[in-house]
Amino acid sequence: MSTEAYLATLTDAVSVRMPTAYGEFLMTAFTDPNDGKEHIILVMGQPHLVSAPIVRIHSECATGDLFASCRCDCGEQLDRSLSIIGEAGCGVLIYLRQEGRGIGLKNKLRAYQLQDQGSDTVEANLQLGLPVDGRCYGIAAAVLNALNISTLRLLTNNPDKISSLETLGFVVSRLPIQVDYQQYNLAYMQAKQLKMGHLVSL
Ligand SMILES: Nc1nc2c(ncn2[C@@H]2O[C@H](COP(=O)(O)OP(=O)(O)OP(=O)(O)O)[C@@H](O)[C@H]2O)c(=O)[nH]1
Ligand SMILES: [Zn+2]
């Protein structure tokens, strides 16, 4: 079966060939039947034919992914992930609409206001009465299942993401995704390392 046929099993899936600066992908948009969110999948090659394909599960960060914000490492991670998949010639990027670790853009900007007053990224969410990380990966699991992928190499530094997928039944090994940290995001990365266990070298 083709990759497109596998993805057609997702709700409202629409796929199109998408040439990019990283190479040619099959881009698919589909609807999450649980909350109506529209997620995006980029697939290069035929990952179901590879024993442990490269997978990136990327959480939406409008500030970093679209506007090159230096407050976080998301934009650089997205760029690195697409480069790595492009160089390998095969892999999957699942772009989940989980802005602000699930709290949404306006709340993330509120959290940034608190960070500008001295709170760290974890404290700021808590001060807003919101979860530190409200994400779940059930919909990513549905995509991997649709693609017939059960064993994968996950591009991540987040141990929670790995254990969530393992709990959902996947066999996961980690591919680190190191980017250059600088002046503006160093404190953020230190908080993620210390309080959220992220596997980064600073
Ligand atoms: N609430 C909140 N969300 C943030 C902040 N900075 C980035 N984000 C969001 O965090 C999400 C990305 O999470 P990260 O912790 O950077 O990375 P990760 O996906 O958990 O881990 P990796 O797989 O290693 O990238 C995106 O949804 C961003 O919008 C912040 O200061 N506060
Ligand atoms: Zn970000």
Taking the C-alpha atoms of residue 2 and residue 174, their distance in angstroms, rounded to an integer, is: 26
Contact 140, 96 (CB under 8 A): yes
Question: Global pTM?
Answer: 0.95
Task: Give the ligand whose atoms come closest to the C-alpha of residue 58.
Answer: 1
Q: What is the pLDDT of residues 15-45, one digit of tens each?
A: 999 999 999 999 999 999 999 999 999 999 9
Q: What is the pLDDT of residues 107-132, one digit of tens each?
A: 999 999 999 999 999 999 999 999 99
Residue numbers belonging to the annotated binding site for Zn(2+) = 61, 72, 74
The pLDDT of residue 94 is above 80 = yes
Q: In b/e form, how buried is each residue of 173-193, taking b as 16+ CB within 10 angstroms? A: eebebebebeeebeebbbbbe
Q: Is residue 61 lining ligand 1, measured as CB closer than 6 Å? A: yes
Ligand 1 center to residue 61 CA distance, Å? 7
The owner of tokens 């600088």 is 182
Ligand 2 center to residue 128 CA distance, Å? 18
Ligand 2 center to residue 151 CA distance, Å? 27
Indicate if ipTM > 0.90. yes
Which residues face 180 on adjacent strands?
A: none
Q: Is residue 164 lining ligand 1, measured as CB closer than 6 Å? A: no
Q: Which domains are seen in the chain, by residue range?
A: 3-98+135-196 (3.40.50.10990)
